[in-house]
Chain A
């Protein structure tokens, strides 16, 4: 069974900092890795999806990378803003199922 881990569980940074969120998974036979954002009391919003054949995807200030061989994905947020404060979750898709990490709660201080 796939295990997905996100470290740290919480992160607090000053506004303007560049930061990296980590996601690791135990089985490298994934089809894709998806990053989500969840605001308090809300559903999950899809941010980026990286297919297994890809190394990275970019959307605005967000860049996600995937290294299947090491079982790792990172989400890079450039020039962080208070509006980026949320919980970020990663999920792998393999064995016809999605496997979620427990998330990193990000707080960007003004």
Chain B
């Protein structure tokens, strides 16, 4: 299994509070991703990183920010949590192979976040 951990694994918080989720990898992969998974919506990309301090928005980035100060860590922050951000959050990593000819993605175990 790819070495990806997420912390915390479960969190309950209140509306308006800041929340930070952490993703840690031991694979030294260049790319890291944050997704949310909701019934009826599938997996949706929030933000991704293509290197240290290099990040970009995904399709549902409003209300979220990210930071990557080290190759192994990718943080997702909800500046002021809302009930609509109740979800399961997955971190993923990937690396290009064969000169970019393919890119295989691996997922962490997920964080279940509940915003009351």
Report A's interface with B, CB cutoff 8 A. 31-32, 34, 36, 41-46, 49, 51-53, 89, 91, 93, 97-98, 100-103
- On whether the beta carbons of A103 and B42 are closer than 8 Å, the reply is yes
Q: Which residues of A contact B92 (CB under 8 A)?
A: 44
Q: Which residues of A contact B94 (CB under 8 A)?
A: 98
Contacts A43-B90, A43-B109: A100 and B103 contacting too (C-beta < 8 A)?
no
Q: For B101, give its contact among A41, A42, A44, A51 (CB under 8 Å).
A: A51
A interface footprint on B46-62 (CB within 8 Å = 1, 0 otherwise): 00100000000000000
A interface footprint on B36-77 (CB within 8 Å = 1, 0 otherwise): 000000110100100000000000000000000000000000
- On whether the beta carbons of A102 and B108 are closer than 8 Å, the reply is no
Contacts A31-B102, A32-B102: A89 and B43 contacting too (C-beta < 8 A)?
yes
Q: Which residues of B contact A102 (CB under 8 A)?
A: 42
Contacts A42-B109, A100-B43: A49 and B90 contacting too (C-beta < 8 A)?
no
Contacts A89-B43, A100-B43: A43 and B110 contacting too (C-beta < 8 A)?
yes
Which DSSP category, helix, strand, loop or mixed, fits chain B's interface? strand
In the bound assembly, the distance between CA atoms of A31 and B90 in angstroms comes to: 23
| Sample of 9 further A-B pairs with CB below 8 A, known A49-B102, A49-B104, A52-B102 | A32-B103, A44-B92, A44-B107, A46-B107, A52-B101, A93-B103, A97-B48, A98-B103, A103-B42
- On whether the beta carbons of A91 and B105 are closer than 8 Å, the reply is yes
Report B's interface with A, CB cutoff 8 A. 33, 42-43, 45, 48, 90, 92, 94, 98, 100-110
- On whether the beta carbons of A100 and B42 are closer than 8 Å, the reply is yes
In the bound assembly, the distance between CA atoms of A34 and B107 in angstroms comes to: 13
In the complex, how many angstroms separate the beta carbon of B18 from the nearest chain A beta carbon?
25
In the complex, how many angstroms separate the beta carbon of A63 from the nearest chain B beta carbon?
18
| Chain A residue nearest to B48 in the complex (CB) | A97
In the bound assembly, the distance between CA atoms of A42 and B110 in angstroms comes to: 7
- On whether the beta carbons of A43 and B108 are closer than 8 Å, the reply is yes
Q: Which residue among A44, A51, A52, A97 has the maximum number of chain B CB atoms within 10 Å of its CB?
A: A44
Q: Which residues of B contact A46 (CB under 8 A)?
A: 104-107
